[in-house]
Structure 1
Amino acid sequence: MKTVSVGTRQSALALTQTQWVMDRLRKLQPDWEWRVEKILTKGDRILHVTLSKLGGKGLFIKEIEGALLEGRIDLAVHSMKDLPAEMPEGLAIAAVTPREDPRDCLISRSGAGLDELPAGAVVGTSSLRRQAQVLVRRPDLVVKPVRGNVETRLRKLEEGQFDAIVLARAGLSRLGLEDRITEVLAVDKMVPAVGQGALAVQCRGGDESVFRLIRRINDPETEKAVRAERAFLHAFQGGCHLPVAAYAQVEGEKVLLDGLVASPDGRRVLRDRQEGNGAEEVGCRLAEKLLRQGADEILSAVRAEVER
């Protein structure tokens, strides 16, 4: 009997997502023995530094990808939004799962939505993308970093360290915590992270039997949308730590992509839309639009600040 090791982060959300994938693969290949390999990543280990200061790229996946390349695990389940635009040679995304709700949501102690929070209220997020878009809409709020898994962030909110926090709705849904949501933030209020709401199942490119099996749970529509978003991100040589956002919708053959680049203080925002049939082409064309409008200048300033 073939034994398949599935690598994942150690959080409750990561384990829930991994189990969801394994259940589907087990149904397709019940003759194999499936086991979970929990791996501690740098992003989970270092919680006292903001993600942008840590460097962002690959913080939650580097150790897992290393285990894959070394043959210690056979496949890995990631939140798609954690994957940098570039992937190590020898690895492949074999499947992108059907997308959950990609939107962000606000959880506040008072029950007030983003527009109703009092001036000076403290909002917690570890994402420059979320920070920028909160401050675009509410420059009178105070945004402070919050690290840790979903449960840790909710506890910090309850303890009064923050008046509100921003989290991905998909994660709360997978953990059965949707009742904690105060407001789901529409895409016109908060453009999601690249790949948010989807899972990526990764394996070694040369492991054909595993690749073929995983491919059977791929969702073509979500994959096409995510390819457009990742092409947009790749054009900025960026990871999940940059204030870059993109959300693609697929309508028949057409891809509709909204993209945003913003300064972390919310004072400068570039946002545009592109549509077309080729996913990567749409992503690249939209990035070129924003680069012409000054996106490079914004992101160069962000990188310089991070490196200080």
Structure 2
Amino acid sequence: MDPLRIGARASLMSLMQTAPILARLTPTPTLLRPFYEAGGDRESNRAALDAEGVFSEEIESALLAGEIDVAVHCLKDCPTQDTPGLAMAAYLPRDDIRDCLVTRHGDTTLDTLPEGAAIATASVRRGSALRAYRPDLAVVPIRGPVSERLRTLDEVGGNVDGLIVATCSMERLGLAHRINQRISTEIICPPLGAAIIALQAREDDLETRKQLSKLHDQATEIEAQTERLILRRMGGFCNAPLAGYCTTTAAGTYTVRARAFGYGGGTTIDTRLTGKDPIQTAEAVCEKLTRHGKP
């Protein structure tokens, strides 16, 4: 049997989250190919975060060319429209959607950070939420893999007091012990598509899609499709001033939330609705968000 050729970004984060996927595909033989030149990952001349595909374009091109059979993506970094010829073949069970605070001191929280503390993030969403919650903090732009940002934080005499990063990133790196605070979604709303790993295959590669189906989580697929709909309708992308999520309630209904920010820092609109149909609920949220956003 030919090995299943799996492509993933070459960052430590990406490789750490891909390793369990290879294990779960056993006894199917697999071959991992790391990709080093994603526009958002490059050491120099990194692509801007104000467009789609800066983390996925390189891997998708290889998948379309038949150089790999499966692409591993963080869903929030993917284009909101499926690339022609490709399909999401499986969504893994969703991890913790919250952001977290990481500092040098284990007992620090957002509320106990000293006035003027420098908190690093390149995310418009996170920066806007921080300025709304603690306008006295200094938001410092920083980009790069989580491991690189942690090195910046840990530098002796450095000018960064803390980082805001995804909780799931710290957990996948085996660094959950470094988390100071898992931040409520009421303070920092997560990005649409947060904490979801998606496996992509060629649309006509039915054998590969069948092999990946054993990893698929139906509940995560519903949430993913719902959140991608909001991104498409609202023109969102990975670093847009837009956040939100879909959650499944114990009663079998769906709560859909969307939160839009002004680039200056204040929250402008925060909408959430609950309904029995997640897509219809998401459409109603988009309509409400659009209506409220009109002058």
Q: Which TM-score applies when normalising by structure 2?
A: 0.93
Moved over 4 A (4+): 46-49
SS in 1 for 2:234: coil
In 1, distance between residues paired with 2:209 and 2:203? 7
Counterpart position of 2:165:
167
Counterpart position of 2:86:
91
Counterpart position of 1:42:
39
1:33 aligns with 2:32: no
Change (3 A) 1:47 1:289: farther
Q: Report the residue type matching 1:134 in the other structure.
A: L
Q: Report the residue type matching 1:24 in the other structure.
A: R
Counterpart position of 1:76:
71
RMSD: 1.7
Counterpart position of 1:14:
14
Counterpart position of 1:259:
258
**Structure 2 unaligned spans of 5+:** none
Contact 2:129–2:266 (Cα < 8 Å) also in 1 = no
In 2, distance between residues paired with 1:292 and 1:37? 46
Counterpart position of 1:120:
116
Contact 1:121–1:142 (Cα < 8 Å) also in 2 = yes
Report deviation, 1:237: 1.8
Counterpart position of 1:305:
none
Contact 1:82–1:240 (Cα < 8 Å) also in 2 = yes
Contact 2:9–2:34 (Cα < 8 Å) also in 1 = yes
Give identity over the alignment, percent. 35
Matches within 5 A, 1:107-146: 107-110=102-105, 111-146=107-142
Q: Report the residue type matching 1:43 in the other structure.
A: G
Change (3 A) 1:11 1:56: same
Counterpart position of 1:202:
200
Report deviation, 1:48: 6.3
In 1, distance between residues paired with 2:102 and 2:20? 25
Contact 1:77–1:202 (Cα < 8 Å) also in 2 = yes
Report deviation, 1:18: 1.2
Aligned residues: 290
In 2, distance between residues paired with 1:45 and 1:200? 22
In 2, distance between residues paired with 1:66 and 1:206? 16
Counterpart position of 2:95:
100
